[in-house]
Amino acid sequence: MPRLIISKFTLVLPLLALLTLAANAGAPTPVPTEGPTRLVAAWEPVDTVLVRWPPAHPPIVYTEIDEAASLTFLVANNSQRDAAIGYCSSLGIPESRLNFVFTGQVSLWPRDWGPYCVFTDDGAMVLADPLWNGYPYAGQYCATPTGNFTPNNPADATANATVAAALGLARTPLTFYATGGNLLSDGHGRAFSSCLMVSENLPLMTEAQLKSDAQAQMGVTDWTILSNWETYGIQHVDCWAKWVDEETVLVKRPPPGHPETAPTEANVALLESMTTPWGNPYTIIRVDTPPYSGNNLANYLNSYIVNDRVLVPTFGIGADEAALQIYRDAMPGYRVVGVPHAGFYNHTDAVHCRVRSIHDREMLRIAHPRIRADQPLNAPIEARAFIDDRSDAGVIDSATNLLWRERGLLEWRTTPLPLAPAHGPRWRAAFIDAMPSPTEIEYYIDAADNSGRRAFMPPVGAHGPQRFLATDGGLRIVPLDLPAAVAPGAAPGAHSAAAIRIDPGADTLDPGSVTAHLRPRPGAPITDIPMQPDANGDFTAALPAFDCADAPELHFTAATTLGAQRRWPALASTAYAFPVVEPATTTLLAAAFDSPTLPDGFTATGLWTITQSCPPPGDACGAPTTPGAHHAAFVDTNSCTYNTGQTEAGDLTRPPGAVAPAAVA
């Protein structure tokens, strides 16, 4: 058993705190579904970050964490401690800023075996310690329990008790397996995991018992179980999605035909059917994850939020910058840092897997249902917030305010945010002034308590404020028929249309102003497409064909005869996005495979044959076929043509979600 030693551990009081999201004027106040016990979310204030020694990250990860919070190295002995001090000194991080816990030689992944931060019903933060037995692997079938575990490191199973004692926190043992990379929390009682979490625990308990224990021990009142997506792997949800707040989630988008595409889209459909803790639909933002090595997909979702910044793995491919820009757009004001993967990370193991946050046990937390929808003119707009000081030192009323301004102005207007008992304990409310004309409003919340903590909503405050529109209820653009997905190139369904309806209200529409604005992929130039009215008076725009690599974005504009402009979606930072995907089932003339037989689910008739000769020329959705590779072709292999002197017919079909064709002859 390793000896308990704490070396230079210093409590760091972060300046940033969890801030969730605002309520609309006149709407009932939704209350977060929290029980007496609450599992902390990733974006809440971080005090220190557990990392193991020897190094498991590129140097930039250590310097960024040091700037945002503090580093706590898990070391096996004094020799490792001294090596970590020397390494950090070479990065400009002094020994005085480092913390050490002697745990024995733990593995690279404190995310998975490490502790969860949980607030109990008495307001204290404890470290919840899950059962640990290594890594189970499974395919895409959720009902099959898995007994396939990678070898377990014994030090991992005992380290949490040592960490809890070193940090002066109580440890709560859990009765179930809860691999950290496969459990993400929204901070309001909801958690997300792949169904491998259920399979892993079936030798111990039923799914119902698992959820009951998680509610009692971690405060998870709503555990959403997603379908597995990897053909065979650890199925960790932190490689599939990233919740950046309780209403916004980034989700990977595999390329068309990749084995993960079909289960991923099924899980996205599930998310689309759900509502957030505030009763709104989730904002789901897709991140294209093309292969970076063979069929392995860029692991952009395995990012790590630490207070005011997010560390995103990059893979040395063209899609890196687009992924970083999506993070910048989704998390305005945060410092977005790309972390090169080479020598460290892969498609199932990156930044998030190798760190574990220890959150601020006395955090100043702000939960706030943001003002999302358009608001009416000539009426004050209410913003409400739940502010909880876990230090119990007391919130400072005079330092707790709503700050707002018309977008484009420099000065913020400060409105006190007093207690509002009608909304419940710890709720506060204030009003933004009525707007006499259409205006885009920016706002954030600033709070302080007597412990010296200060918190903002959003967490970066004025650097990334929330925005909404105050409008006059006149001219409105109503989406009518927008493409959910289109097929590439000349495939069936490749060409599509977008239709909208204009509700002029009290205004008069300028019919020549109705325009669709199309960007084939993030960062590409925008093409303006004039929209024409149909027999019903609705407006339609024909869309061009797209390439497989495209990720189209649309927005629409219209104007009144007096020149008033309208946009849909309303905010300039948003657009309607849809994927380019192949038809669910396709009849092909040639397709490449990895073996001399057809994959499961494919059928072939007529002249169709598997051959290494007669190579096809390539396909819009994939690279040209490698010479000598096995592929299916509708040919007489003696002549490499289908001209046999008689009529020939046959079909090659593939099931939904199968590999994309390498060529279409």
Map out the domains of the chain with their CATH numbers: 34-359 (3.75.10.10), 364-471 (2.60.40.10), 476-577 (2.60.40), 584-665 (no CATH)
CA distances from 216 to 86, 121, 211, 226, 619 (A): 44, 11, 9, 22, 54
- Read off the pLDDT of residues 2-11 as tens digits, 9 standing for 90 and up: 323 333 333 3
Q: At 494, is the secondary structure helix, strand, or coil?
A: coil
Q: At 207, is the secondary structure helix, strand, or coil?
A: helix
Give the other-Cβ count within 10 Å of 508's Cβ. Answer: 12
Alpha-carbon torsion, ordered 446, 449, 453, 455, to 10 deg: -20
Q: Is 607 left (phi over 0), alpha (psi -120 to 50) or beta?
A: alpha
Report the C-alpha gap between 23 and 132 in whole angstroms.
41
Across the strands, what pairs with 568?
Answer: 556
Q: Is the pTM of this model over 0.95?
A: no
Report the C-alpha gap between 417 and 383 in whole angstroms.
9
User: Residue 537 carries which DSSP code?
Assistant: S
Report the C-alpha gap between 626 and 570 in whole angstroms.
47
Report the C-alpha gap between 249 and 244 in whole angstroms.
6
| Contact between residue 370 and residue 277 where contact means Cβ atoms under 8 Å apart | no
Cα–Cα nearest to 274, from 494, 597, 33: 33
Across the strands, what pairs with 117?
Answer: 127
Angle at the Cα of 401 (from 400 to 402), degrees rounded to 5? 150
**Structure tokens that stand for 76 in this block:** 């096996």
Give the model's pLDDT for residue 296.
95
Q: Which residue has the tokens 């939904």?
A: 656
Report the C-alpha gap between 584 and 5 in whole angstroms.
59
Q: Which residues of the chain carry a pLDDT beneath 50?
A: 1-34, 584-588, 590, 617-625, 657-665
Could you write out the DSSP letters of every residue in 596-625? Answer: SSPPTT-EE-TTEEEESSS----BTTBPPP
**Structure tokens that stand for 632 in this block:** 């299916």
Cα–Cα nearest to 154, from 114, 105, 100, 117: 105
Name the burial class of residue 275, with classes exposed (0-12), middle (13-18) and buried (19+) by CB atoms within 10 angstroms of its CB.
exposed
Largest CA distance in the chain: 91
Q: Is 640 left (phi over 0), alpha (psi -120 to 50) or beta?
A: left
**Structure tokens that stand for 362 in this block:** 């006395």
Report the C-alpha gap between 336 and 12 in whole angstroms.
22
**Structure tokens that stand for 265 in this block:** 């889209």
Write phi, then psi, for 469 (nearest 5 degrees).
-110, 135
Give the other-Cβ count within 10 Å of 293's Cβ. Answer: 13
Report the C-alpha gap between 28 and 37 in whole angstroms.
25
Report the C-alpha gap between 264 and 261 in whole angstroms.
5
| Contact between residue 99 and residue 9 where contact means Cβ atoms under 8 Å apart | yes
| Contact between residue 526 and residue 517 where contact means Cβ atoms under 8 Å apart | yes
Q: Which residue has the tokens 């502790």?
A: 115
| Contact between residue 185 and residue 41 where contact means Cβ atoms under 8 Å apart | yes
Dihedral sign for Cα 252, 256, 257, 258, please. Answer: negative
Give the model's pLDDT for residue 622.
42
Write phi, then psi, for 271 (nearest 5 degrees).
-60, -40
Q: At 551, is the secondary structure helix, strand, or coil?
A: coil
Expressed in angstroms, the distance from the first to the final Cα of the chain is: 66
Cα–Cα nearest to 6, from 127, 78, 102: 102
Name the burial class of residue 478, with classes exposed (0-12), middle (13-18) and buried (19+) by CB atoms within 10 angstroms of its CB.
exposed
Q: Which residue has the tokens 């792997």?
A: 233
**Structure tokens that stand for 574 in this block:** 């948003």
Q: At 232, is the secondary structure helix, strand, or coil?
A: coil
Cα–Cα nearest to 128, from 163, 76, 90, 89: 163
CA distances from 286 to 230, 251, 394 (A): 18, 5, 41
Give the model's pLDDT for residue 548.
80
- Read off the pLDDT of residues 229-263 as tens digits, 9 standing for 90 and up: 999 999 999 999 999 999 999 999 999 999 999 99
